[in-house]
Structure 1
Amino acid sequence: MKTKSASDKIISAFAYIYMILFVIVAIIPFMTIISTSITDEQYIRANGFDIFPHEVTWAAYKYVLGRGSTILDAYQVTTFVTVVGTLFSMLITTMMAFALSRKEWKMAVPISFLVYFTMLFNGGLVPWYIITTKYLGLHDSLLALIIPYTINAFNLLVLRSFISGIDNSIFEAAKIDGANEFQLLFRIALPLALPGLATICLFYAISYWNDWWLGLMLINERELYPLQLLIRAITSNISYATSSGSNSSIAAASIPEEGVKMATTVLTIGPIILLYPFLQRYFVKGLTIGSVKG
């Protein structure tokens, strides 16, 4: 085995120190959020935020989870939308990316340009709302939280680039053996594009899980509120109650405002963070799409 030189050891030491410092800087915000969510509100107002909890209390979690079925309903809605929406988006995006990656298809370049064009220009909020509600009928339904985000132009182009990097001779050999286009996609392209698929899948899952805007625009029935919109409504109501000059502010003074904000953050980011370790081994490779050719 080759022995490391002194310069290599110094560089490795600096690299390890840098990574340790980076990890600490990345963890501190999460520690602060968790600490604040279980720290007494009066202590926070008097001393500010800290990475370690003081005068531990679960009042913030009791307040948020005290809504019972409301929070559970919102979790069910968001979980359903995230799972179904991600699978549906991946299916449509993958098929379209594969089609646009086929160099022999004459319409691949024009349609790719149209997809890219939508990243630069759009019709605006009012036309989007009219088309979504009046013509597509997406209002007060779970489909309203899924269909508008079915295809993301950036994700589509990234996945197309990844599939385009697969050696075309593999597809030609499969065609000689009698494979059709669906077999080329599902039996050859998808297994070879697994890192890209995992990366785009994570992007779609995060997008669906964190979305509150579609619920705000298209959902009126509270039982269909996604989790993020319900959390936004709770924190907005608390902020209004604590800042108003009415008698209700007296009762609102006992509400752990900062603790509730942090507790809702913990409850909403937890599930999506747990998804990352399962996709982490593909994630780094997927982010290097197009960086190396040959």
Structure 2
Amino acid sequence: MNKTSLGERIFDILNVVIMLLLIMVTLYPFIYIVAASFSNGNQFIAHDGLLFWPEGFTFSAYDAVFRNPNIMMGYRNTLFIVVVGVTINLILTSLGAYFLSRENIMWKNGIMFFIVFTMFFNGGLIPFYLTVRSLELHDTLWALILPSAINTFNLILMRTYFMSIPRDMEESAVMDGAGHITILFRVYLPLAIPVVAVMILFYGVQHWNSWFQANIFLRNKELFPLQLVLRNILIDNNMEMMMGNNVAINEAQNVAETIKYATIMVSTIPILALYPFLQKYFVKGVMVGALKG
């Protein structure tokens, strides 16, 4: 067995210590939010310093959140945006990536140039707003879905994966009489499960966390997604948005602070639950094409 030198042991110890510190710094804000969400409002406000455990354990904040019609309305709108949006994203991104991965496509390099160009330059917020309004998407949930139907980075990522699939698979399908649509959906996509999982994760998180476009294009509060409802709760400190119209003022004052953290937890847990199912595909899907044999 090779003996490690003193310098190597010191390096290993420092490396472990630094990693543990990074874990603590990263994990503590989440622990704080969890503890605050289960705390009694008065005791939480009176608490000073670090918080690792709820002050006066109670579910009152979560009870207020789930009784709030605005939160449930935000969930409904966000689920529609995520499900419909990710479906459209996957279909259009797959079609675009398949086309750009073909050989002998006329003007393919020029098309790729204009696609990549959009990653660095855009028309700005005002032309974007005018375009969406001219298409009569303003004040509809489609304004949050259609303008972001294809992400340039995701398109390039999927195109790179498709280019790594052996052409023999495609040639065999062509010999069996398959067309482009059949090749894409019955050959390429089944072989591209890792990158499809990454697309679902990227687009799903994008739609779930999106609030800026909703803040610009939506005026009807019944269409607000969950993140915009959360933004109004945290920034505007809107008591009516937090507690609903049918909750007594004294109850609202008791949980006004802790309900903010409970709302953060309620809006974060669903997307966190998605990661374990897609984690095994994540590295393979993202790193594809980084090394060429």
TM-score (norm 1): 0.84
Structure 2 match to 1:100: 100
Q: Identity over the aligned pairs, expressed in percent?
A: 37
Task: Quote how far apart the aligned CAs of 1:252 are.
Answer: 10
Per-residue displacement from partner, 1:50-85 (whole Å, max 9, x unpaired)? 122122233432443332x32212111101110110
How many residues align structurally? 280
State the distance in 1 between where 2:201 and 2:97 align.
Answer: 17
Structure 2 match to 1:64: 65
Structure 2 match to 1:111: 111
Structure 1 match to 2:214: 215
Flag the 1:253–1:281 CA change in 2: closer, same or farther, 3 A.
closer
Tell me, what secondary structure is at the counterpart of 2:289?
A: coil
TM-score (norm 2): 0.84
State the distance in 2 between where 1:44 and 1:164 align.
Answer: 55
State the distance in 1 between where 2:53 and 2:177 align.
Answer: 64
Uncovered stretches (5+) of structure 1, i.e. residues with no partner: 242-249
Task: Quote how far apart the aligned CAs of 1:26 are.
Answer: 4.3
Residues 1-294 of structure 1 correspond to what in structure 2 (within 5 A)? 21=20, 26-46=26-46, 47-67=48-68, 69-134=69-134, 136-238=135-237, 254=253, 256-294=255-293
Uncovered stretches (5+) of structure 2, i.e. residues with no partner: 241-248
Deviates more, 1:93-102 or 1:283-292: 283-292
Structure 1 match to 2:244: none
Per-residue displacement from partner, 1:10-41 (whole Å, max 9, x unpaired)? 8xx97x95798365554433222100112233
Structure 1 match to 2:243: none
> One-letter code of the match for 2:66?
L
Flag the 1:270–1:85 CA change in 2: closer, same or farther, 3 A.
same
Task: Quote how far apart the aligned CAs of 1:139 are.
Answer: 1.6
| Aligned-pair Cα RMSD in Å | 3.0
Query: Given that residues 232 and 238 in structure 2 are in contact (C-alpha distance below 8 angstroms), is that contact kept between their aligned partners in structure 1?
Result: no
Task: Quote how far apart the aligned CAs of 1:94 are.
Answer: 0.7
> One-letter code of the match for 1:203?
F
State the distance in 1 between where 2:250 and 2:283 align.
Answer: 49
> One-letter code of the match for 2:267?
T
Per-residue displacement from partner, 1:70-119 (whole Å, max 9, x unpaired)? 22121111011101100111100011011011122123221111111111
> One-letter code of the match for 1:160?
R
Query: Given that residues 101 and 108 in structure 1 are in contact (C-alpha distance below 8 angstroms), is that contact kept between their aligned partners in structure 2?
Result: no
Query: Given that residues 99 and 108 in structure 1 are in contact (C-alpha distance below 8 angstroms), is that contact kept between their aligned partners in structure 2?
Result: no
Deviates more, 1:79-88 or 1:58-67: 58-67
Query: Given that residues 174 and 184 in structure 1 are in contact (C-alpha distance below 8 angstroms), is that contact kept between their aligned partners in structure 2?
Result: yes
State the distance in 2 between where 1:19 and 1:162 align.
Answer: 35
State the distance in 2 between where 1:6 and 1:44 align.
Answer: 52
